Amino acid sequence: MLRFKVNGKERQVDVEEDTPLLWVLRDNLGLPGTKFGCGVSECGACTVHVDGEAVRSCSFPVSDAAGKNITTIEGLDPESKHPLQEAWVKHEVPQCGYCQSGMIMSAAALLKENPSPTDEQINEEVTNVCRCGTYSRVRAAIHTAAGNEKGGA
């Protein structure tokens, strides 16, 4: 049995240690907000926080999560009122929406480390792929969540 906290709750699972954390969250724990995109840690749709760090869960073995705190999009704010979630709505960021949970989780990790990032820092740190191409809206929403309206769009 592997034990860890997910969104503040103690959880345990009996799975192969090399099972990607993504599939444990979705299939074993019933948390569908974390999405599968590419399976090779490139697109970022599967981004979650492990002990506060953004990780791509599609290639993160569940054994590496043992004893750690995991936060998914469902746990970022139970009422979906995290400043980033509200800014996403304000700036109408999503079109199809598929990548948005991973994008928000990457942005949340960025803002935790850098509460007032520049556009260049956002571009360097939030490397998630959005097929709809809403990157200017993403930057604007991150600036809004940071309390800095310079983001435009």
CATH of the domain at 66: 3.10.20.30
Tens digit of pLDDT for each residue in 99-138? Answer: 999 999 999 999 999 999 999 999 999 999 998 899 999 9
Q: Are residues 63 and 114 both part of a single domain?
A: no
What is the pTM (predicted TM-score) of this model? 0.93
- In 3-state terms, what secondary structure has residue 103? helix
Q: What is the pLDDT of residue 121?
A: 97
C-alpha span between 2 and 120 (Å, rounded): 39
Domain span holding position 90 = 83-151
In the chain, how many domains are there?
2
141's tokens: 């929403």
Residue type at 9 in one-letter notation: K
Q: How many residues are present in the chain?
A: 153
Q: What is the pLDDT of residue 148?
A: 84
47, 76, 105: which is the final residue of a domain?
76
Q: Are residues 87 and 112 both part of a single domain?
A: yes
Q: Are residues 108 and 61 both part of a single domain?
A: no
Q: Are residues 19 and 65 both part of a single domain?
A: yes
C-alpha span between 92 and 151 (Å, rounded): 14
Q: Are residues 91 and 146 both part of a single domain?
A: yes
Split at pLDDT 50, 70, 90, the class of 152 is: very low
Tens digit of pLDDT for each residue in 21-53? Answer: 999 999 999 999 999 999 999 999 999 999 999
Q: What is the pLDDT of residue 149?
A: 67
Split at pLDDT 50, 70, 90, the class of 64 is: very high
C-alpha span between 153 and 143 (Å, rounded): 11
Split at pLDDT 50, 70, 90, the class of 151 is: very low
